[in-house]
Amino acid sequence: MNKVVLSADAAVADIASGATVMLGGFGLCGIPENLIAALVRLGVRGLHTISNNMGVDGFGMGLMLEAGMIASHIGSYVGENRRLETMVLQGQLDLTLIPQGTLAERIRAGGAGIPAFYVPTGLGTVVAEGKETRQIGERMYVLEHALHADVALVKAWKGDRLGNLVYRKTARNFNPAMATAADLTIAEVEELV
Amino acid sequence: MSGKERIARRIALELRDGFYVNLGIGLPTMITAFVPAGMDVTFQSENGMLGVGPAPMAGAADPDLINAGKQPVTELPGCSYFGSEESFAMIRGGHMDMSVLGAMQVDEAGNLANWTIPGKMVKGMGGAMDLVAGARRVIVAMEHQTKEGASRILKACTLPLTGTHVVHDIVTELCWIRVSAEGLVLTEVAEGLTPQEVQARTEARLIISPEVRVMAMVGA
């Protein structure tokens, strides 16, 4: 078995317009920047993206935004991307902001076969609006559902032909959880070992 | 000494040996400079690190080593790395002894608003909602009033909330306030101020503690 693909373009070639795509990274740390560039070259549209942030103007997912490829986005913080702020305020992009820990756990649950779970996070805020709440013991909790994607694009430090990955320092962030939560995981690595 | 530094030095007094602490972006980060000598405090960064060290020397930044504010940091001996899902399991699971965050508004019920202004700002809550829901003690560190002179400590928050009944203490350059079931208790005021002067700059009703004293801080 050999999972190695020789170019980023070949790796993303089967991603279709309208796909749900998870992208690893925190800020610009541990983002699959070459896969993002290849996805922009591929020219697919109407993507539903799931990623903690959304790059900055001119880099990372900012490039996908500028190419008009994204129909909707789920994330926790997009404060570094002015273009996104403008697009959302003008209603050009459907943005769902959710707490970062809830985002991480929804992805983990998606990979772990857990359809939904209760958290205390966001109780009494807009995040809990329309969601089932339940008292367990002394405390109230909000029901959150798992996230799943067609494709996860992740970044790792080292990888091998079997698809084993090693992450480096805080470039790990959302990458390992996302790698479990999609039908197809594509990893960009610095070093093939 | 700036008001922000006084706040950081005051909060540093709340640290205890062996604490695991998450600090928000901005002012709270200043606390790391005032950990009392000989005390072991482990700082967590929610992007996946325990044992966060100070900023690197110029030119020595590692792009794979940042804090939750996306600034370059360094490793302290014994530091560890983990994914975001595990990081927030620590936070939500009650393993953080203390979380210090900034705020736009806090109110008499201990409600906190610090993530959005409708129609003006689309940034996101990041990890703030998780931190206030999960940390054992939540301290809000902020300037007492807005730049326009309006109180940030209100009878009831007007901005969208980050959490309800989540704040334990409020620290500003003017005072220390403990959130209790009865309301906001003024326990310390900055040197040179009276409790009444603090109340005059605060919209919320303050219950003046019978033991109210001058605000202490880690030595300058």
Q: What tens digit of pLDDT does each residue of B109-165 get?
A: 999 999 999 887 779 999 999 999 999 999 999 999 999 999 999 999 999 999 999
Closest by CA to B177, choosing from B199, B160, B162, B157, is B199
Q: Which residues contact B59 (CB under 8 A, 6 or more apart)?
A: none
- Asked whether the beta carbons of residue A29 and residue B162 sit closer than 8 angstroms, the reply is no
In chain B, whose CA is at the least distance from the CA of A85? B122
Chain A residues lying within 8 Å of B125, measured CB to CB: 76-77, 97-100, 127
Best mutation target among A108, A170, A190, A191 (most B Cβ atoms within 10 Å) is: A170
Distance from CA of B84 to the nearest CA of A (A): 5
Whole-angstrom distance, CA of residue A132 vs CA of residue A140: 10
Q: Cβ(A56)–Cβ(A185) under 8 Å?
A: no
Which residues in chain B are closer than 8 Å to A88, comparing Cβ atoms? 122
Q: Do B48 and A26 touch (CB under 8 A)?
A: yes
One DSSP character per residue, A24-41 reads: --BTTBT--HHHHHHHHH
Checking if the pLDDT of B220 tops 70, the result is no
**Side chain identity at A82, as an amino acid letter?**
R
What residue of A is the nearest CA neighbor of B75? A169
Look at residue B78 in the predicted model and tell me its pLDDT.
Answer: 96
Residue of B nearest to A55 (CA): B70
Which member of A95, A126, A174 has the closest CB to residue B84?
Answer: A174
Task: Answer for the pair A84, A54: CB distance below 8 angstroms, yes or no.
Answer: yes
Does the distance separating the beta carbons of B125 and A100 come in below 8 Å?
yes
Could you tell me the pTM of the whole model?
0.97
Query: pLDDT value at position A83?
Result: 85
CA distance A19 to chain B (A): 24
CA A101, CA A77: separation in Å to the nearest integer? 12
Choose among A103, A18, A92, A94: nearest CA to A53: A103
Beta-carbon contacts of B14 under 8 Å, excluding residues fewer than 6 positions away, are B98, B139, B169
pLDDT digits (tens, 9 = 90+) for B5-44: 999 999 999 999 999 999 998 899 999 999 999 999 999 9
Q: Tell me the pLDDT of chain A (193 aa) as tens digits.
A: 899 999 999 999 999 999 999 999 999 999 999 999 999 999 999 999 999 999 998 999 999 999 999 999 999 999 888 888 888 888 889 999 999 999 999 999 999 999 999 999 999 999 999 999 999 999 999 999 999 999 999 999 999 999 999 999 999 999 999 999 999 999 999 999 9
| pLDDT score for B47 | 98
Which residue shows structure tokens 């605060």? B202
- pLDDT tens, position by position, B162-183: 999 999 999 999 999 999 999 9
Q: Which pLDDT score is estimated for A84?
A: 86
Residues of chain A found within 8 Å of residue B62, distances taken between Cβ atoms: 169
Q: In whole angstroms, give the CA distance from residue A121 to residue B135.
A: 11
Q: Rounded CA gap, B197 and B61, in Å?
A: 45
Catalytic entry in B5, B14, B46, B86: B46
Does the beta-carbon distance from A170 to B122 stay under 8 Å?
A: no
Q: Is the reported ipTM for this assembly greater than 0.90?
A: yes
Instruction: Name which of B47, B50, B62, B115 to mutate to probe chain A: the one with the most chain A Cβ atoms within 10 A of its Cβ.
Output: B47
| Spatial CA neighbour of B165 closest among B173, B174, B156 | B156
pLDDT band at B217; cut points 50, 70, 90: confident
B85 is catalytic: no
Distance of CA A127 to CAs A50, A124, A182, B18, B168, Å?
17, 8, 24, 33, 22
- Closest partner residue to A121 (CB to CB) among B63, B65, B130 is B130
Contact between A187 and A155 (Cβ < 8 Å) = yes
The closest CB to that of B63, out of A29, A99, A125, belongs to A29
Contact residues of B toward A, CB < 8 A: 45-49, 62-68, 70, 81-85, 87-89, 91-92, 111, 119, 121-130, 133-134, 160-165
- What type of residue sits at position B22? N
